[in-house]
């Protein structure tokens, strides 16, 4: 261990409690990678850092507990309120999350942006497709097949291919596959935590049941309808190696993120880093790095929503699907302008939002919190 460097008990890695969400796993992986260059990881350190959903947070007795978490909508559920108040300090990835969490706790809250790897998400020069050679204008959406990420809105936008045969919509997603052996194995490893947190365990089981229902009734049925009705729609449910995902970003002429709310918005950040012109809802965490100077914002309305899994009434940002489709057509017809915004977006991301900068910021925040 280097003399004078911070020593951190990096709980998330040690106890393997990263949430199953891709965002948390990616965040933990790359933040840890770049922090390892400037910090030392030590289970005996008196500072414990946990990158996890707030309702899965638990303090370590005798340690200064830091929770790195986020939320996507306008109101926190009780389980999250309880979680953030267990921590000694809280770190969030966006100003939206800081303002939101501050309504429910007096604990210190700091912002530490997420980022990209500059050596991998490099700027890629795009050109308008040559239709005579059979090339198409590709819109790309990447995410889990749920409402928050705008999955249903992208399916709705697939209607554009009927009017515009020169385009295609590439949907990179995953279909829910429950690996029961792994689920029960992880549950057994965490049995003490689960049994000591009955409400959290109950919510987890209910969420699992709801995901099965959703998979059967919503995701598969709507996806099959689109597959059977429209041409030029690509559904990709493979688990891609990281470099293949980067190549997929580079293959796109325009990136879509009609999100209802984000703690950060990592896929949009990655697409922008490659210079891909982007259309997104300019709200919540996304607003820290995305606006009309570097992309095309989708109109939206704030609407009431009841989250059954969390038993909370909240408000979410609902994108206007018609406005999204109008922006898609506009980018297609004004691609030179869109490419300029894509270039500006790449410059912004590479200048301000990298994992190396995030690690340095995290180091400074922890030093500040510990005096």
Give the domain CATH number at 253: 3.40.50.2000
Q: Are 306 and 362 found together in one domain?
A: no
Domain count, the chain: 2
Q: Are 287 and 339 found together in one domain?
A: yes
Q: Are 135 and 223 found together in one domain?
A: yes
Does residue 225 form part of some domain?
yes
pLDDT of residue 16: 43
Q: Is 87 exposed, middle or buried (0-12, 13-18, 19+ CB in 10 A)?
A: buried
Does residue 271 form part of some domain?
yes
Does residue 59 form part of some domain?
yes
Q: Are 49 and 171 found together in one domain?
A: no
Does residue 315 form part of some domain?
yes
Does residue 97 form part of some domain?
yes
Q: Looking at the DSSP assignment, which residues form a beta bridge with residue 317?
A: 302
Q: Are 89 and 24 found together in one domain?
A: yes
Q: Are 136 and 161 found together in one domain?
A: yes
Please compute the mean of the pLDDT values over residues 4-21 and round it to a whole number.
67
Neighbours of 299 (CB within 10 A): 15
Q: Is the pLDDT of residue 348 over 90?
A: yes
Does residue 190 form part of some domain?
no
Q: Are 107 and 152 found together in one domain?
A: no
pLDDT of residue 216: 46
Q: Residue 87's domain spans which residues?
A: 6-115+355-369
Q: Are 214 and 233 found together in one domain?
A: yes
Q: Are 334 and 247 found together in one domain?
A: yes
Does residue 13 form part of some domain?
yes
Q: Are 340 and 365 found together in one domain?
A: no
Please compute the mean of the pLDDT values over residues 140-166 and round it to a whole number.
90
Q: Is the pLDDT of residue 339 over 90?
A: yes
Radius of gyration over every alpha carbon of the chain, rounded to an integer in angstroms: 21
Q: Give the highest mean pLDDT range of 9-23, 155-169, 179-193.
A: 155-169
Does residue 303 form part of some domain?
yes
Please compute the mean of the pLDDT values over residues 184-204 and round it to a whole number.
54
Residues 246-276: b if buried by 16+ CB within 10 A, e if exposed: bebbbebbbbbbbbbbbbbbbbbbbbbbbbb
Q: What percentage of the chain carries pLDDT values higher than 70? A: 82
Q: How confident is the model at residue 14 (pLDDT cuts 50, 70, 90)?
A: very low
Q: Is the pLDDT of residue 229 over 90?
A: no
List pLDDT tens digits, range 57-76. Answer: 989 999 999 999 999 999 99
Q: Are 26 and 45 found together in one domain?
A: yes
Query: Model pTM?
Result: 0.85
Q: Are 69 and 157 found together in one domain?
A: no
């Amino acid at each position: 261990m280097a003399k004078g460097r911070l020593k951190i008990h990096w709980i998330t890695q040690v106890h393997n409690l990263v949430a199953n969400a891709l965002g948390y796993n990616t965040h933990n992986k790359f933040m840890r990678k770049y922090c390892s260059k400037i910090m030392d990881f030590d289970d005996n350190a008196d500072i414990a850092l946990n990158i996890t959903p707030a309702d899965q947070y638990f303090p370590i007795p005798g340690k200064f507990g830091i929770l790195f978490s986020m939320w996507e909508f306008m109101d926190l559920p009780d389980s999250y309120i309880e979680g953030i108040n267990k921590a000694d300090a809280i770190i969030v990835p966006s100003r939206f999350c800081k303002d939101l969490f501050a309504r429910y706790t007096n604990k210190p809250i700091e912002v530490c942006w997420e980022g990209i790897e500059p050596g991998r998400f490099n700027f890629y020069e795009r050109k308008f497709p040559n239709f005579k050679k059979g090339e198409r204008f590709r819109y790309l959406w990447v995410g889990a097949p749920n409402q928050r990420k705008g999955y249903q809105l992208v399916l709705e936008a697939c209607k554009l291919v009927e009017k515009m045969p020169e385009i295609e919509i590439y949907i990179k997603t995953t279909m829910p596959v429950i690996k029961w052996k792994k689920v029960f194995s992880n549950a057994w490893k965490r049995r003490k935590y689960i049994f000591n947190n009955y409400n959290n365990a109950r919510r987890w089981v209910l969420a699992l049941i709801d995901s099965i229902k959703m998979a059967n009734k919503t995701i598969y049925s709507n996806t099959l309808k689109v597959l059977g009705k429209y041409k030029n729609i690509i559904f990709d449910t493979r688990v891609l190696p990281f470099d293949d995902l980067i190549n997929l970003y580079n293959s796109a002429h325009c990136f879509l993120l009609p999100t209802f709310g984000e703690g950060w918005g990592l896929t949009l950040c990655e697409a922008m880093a490659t210079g891909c012109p982007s259309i997104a809802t300019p709200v919540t965490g996304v607003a820290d790095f995305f606006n009309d100077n570097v992309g095309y914002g989708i109109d939206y309305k704030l609407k009431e929503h009841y989250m059954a899994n969390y038993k909370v009434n909240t408000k979410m940002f609902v994108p206007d699907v018609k406005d999204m489709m109008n922006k898609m057509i506009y980018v297609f017809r004004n691609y030179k302008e869109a490419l300029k915004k894509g270039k500006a977006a790449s410059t912004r991301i590479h200048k301000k939002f990298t994992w190396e900068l995030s690690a340095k910021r995290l180091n400074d925040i922890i030093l500040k919190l510990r005096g």
